[in-house]
Amino acid sequence: MIKIKGSGQRMKGNARFKDGGFEQVPHSIHNYLKFRLITGNDLNVYIFLYQYDNVNYGYAFPNTKQIALETGLSDKTVKACTKNLENVGLIRKGKSSYQPNKNVYYVDLPLQVEELLRQVPDAIEKYQEREVKFKREAKEEKERLTVYLVEKEERDTSEVSSRTVPPLIKTEEEPKYMVTKGS
């Protein structure tokens, strides 16, 4: 396993990023993950396309192999991700006017949660089901921990009380000391 020592510097509020050197991603993208409309791989591709979105042209134009290389994903995964991102309205795919056989990607802002849920109302229901399950499992885990701690305390207490002090070993005959005159 590779072990890398991090920078140890906080990213948020770091002066190094005040004048660029990073891309801001809207908080609302989290809702797409939360409601399982996109995966972590989809987000990886979305951020990559966002970073390569050329302001002068109005779109990003990397090919699938470049996206795969830069994101660490396979070509097949990249194709699935771009298709899903297109399906959920985060990107629009088009053809380059300069090279008709080349795809271009228009990277759109994520919807705000209200609009997103209006368009996919079953997503909130599924999320709420997962939330109820999560809370139930957390409660059960807490109860198991409480039972474990009580049982452990009882075991520890009974072990201490059941310990007996071993009897002193006595020899049959006490040693005799010789007392001499003048000593």
CATH match of 23-115 with 1.10.10.10? yes
| Max intra-chain CA distance, the chain | 123
177 vs 144, 169, 171, 174, 180, CA distance in Å? 64, 20, 16, 9, 10
Whole-structure pTM value:
0.71
70: buried, middle or exposed (CB in 10 Å: 19+, 13-18, 0-12)?
middle
- How many Cβ atoms sit within 10 Å of the Cβ of residue 99? 10
| For the chain, domain boundaries | 23-115, 120-157
Bridge partner residues of 60 (DSSP): 105
Distance set, CA 16 to CA 9, 12, 27, 121 (Å): 10, 10, 21, 41
So what's the pLDDT on residue 21?
67
What letter would DSSP give residue 12? T
pLDDT, tens digit (0-9, with 9 covering 90-100), for 127-173: 999 999 999 999 999 999 999 999 988 888 877 666 655 556 665 66
Write out the chain's pLDDT in tens, 183 residues.
877 676 676 666 666 666 666 777 888 999 999 999 999 999 999 999 999 998 888 889 999 999 999 999 999 999 999 999 999 999 999 988 887 788 999 999 999 999 998 999 998 899 999 999 999 999 999 999 999 999 988 888 877 666 655 556 665 666 566 556 665
